[in-house]
Amino acid sequence: MSNNMENNIDLVSAPKKSFWKLSIPIICFLIFNAAYSLVDMFWVSMISGDAFFAIGASMPIFVLICSIGDSIGQGTNSIMSRSIGFKHYETSYNALIHGIISCIIISLIIACLINYLDELLRLILITEHANLVKIYLIPICLSSLIFIFSNFFCETFQVEGNSKTPTLVIIFSNILNLALDPLFIFTFKLGISAQHMRQLCLH
C-alpha cells in the first residue's frame, strides 16, 4: 500500500506538482457534474412540468443522503491517511470498518424515516405534488445504503492520494446516466420512476 502511495502522489518532495495532480481531476469532475445536472434536468422537464417540480423538490433530500456518504468517507479518509503515514495499518483498517458500519446504521435510520415522510415534506413546505415527490423519494430512501456506500468509497479510494481513479469512475457513470435517462423515460415509459431506477442502476 505504501509503495502505491508513493507512485500516486508525493506532497513532500514536489508539493506544487502533487497539488495539481490531486486537484485537476476533482476540478474536472465538478465541471462535468454541473453540466450533467443541466442535461439531466432537461430530460426530466420533457416528462412534465409537475415531474420537473417533483424532482427539483426532492433534490435537497437526495443530496443530503449522498452527502452523508461523502462526510463519513472524508472523515474515514483523513484517519486512514494519517494512520498509513504513521504505518499504523491496523488503525487504518479499523477506521474503514467503523466507516462502513456507520453507513449501514445511518441507511437503516433513513429507511425507517419513510414512515414520517409526509411530515418531513410538510416541514420543508412541499405540499403541492407531494405524491409525485414520494414516488421518487421512497425508493431512494429504501435504497439509501447504495448511495451512501457509493459516495463513501469514492472518498476512501482517495486515501492513497489517487483522485484520478474515482473521478474517472464517477464521470463514466454520469455519461452512462445520460444514456439511461431517455431510455427509461421514453422507451420504457417509466415517467418519474425512471429517475430513481436510473440512480439505482448507476450507483
Question: Tens of pLDDT along 79-137?
Answer: 998 998 899 999 999 999 999 999 999 999 999 999 999 998 888 888 878 898 999 89
Over residues 163-192, mean pLDDT: 78
- Measured distance CA(76)–CA(80) in Å, rounded: 6
Over residues 69-87, mean pLDDT: 92
Range of the domain at 146: 2-202
Highest mean pLDDT of the ranges 35-39, 167-171, 187-191: 187-191
Is the separation of the CB atoms in 105 and 74 below 8 Å? no
Q: Which of 155, 167, 162, 164 is nearest to 1 (CA)?
A: 162
Q: How many domains does the chain have?
A: 1
Higher-pLDDT residue of 165, 129: 129
> How sure is the predictor about 11, in pLDDT bands with cuts at 50, 70 and 90?
low
* Lowest-pLDDT range of 96-100, 174-178, 179-183: 174-178
CA 76 vs CA 64, 73, 96, 98, 158: distances in Å: 18, 5, 6, 8, 11
* Lowest-pLDDT range of 64-68, 86-90, 157-161: 157-161
Over residues 17-45, mean pLDDT: 76
Highest mean pLDDT of the ranges 23-32, 65-74, 149-158: 65-74
Q: Is the pLDDT of residue 63 over 80?
A: yes
Query: What is the pTM (predicted TM-score) of this model?
Result: 0.79
Q: Is the pLDDT of residue 75 over 90?
A: yes
Higher-pLDDT residue of 22, 63: 63
Q: What percent of the chain has pLDDT over 70?
A: 89
- Measured distance CA(24)–CA(39) in Å, rounded: 23
Residues 6+ apart with CB under 8 A from 45: 51, 52
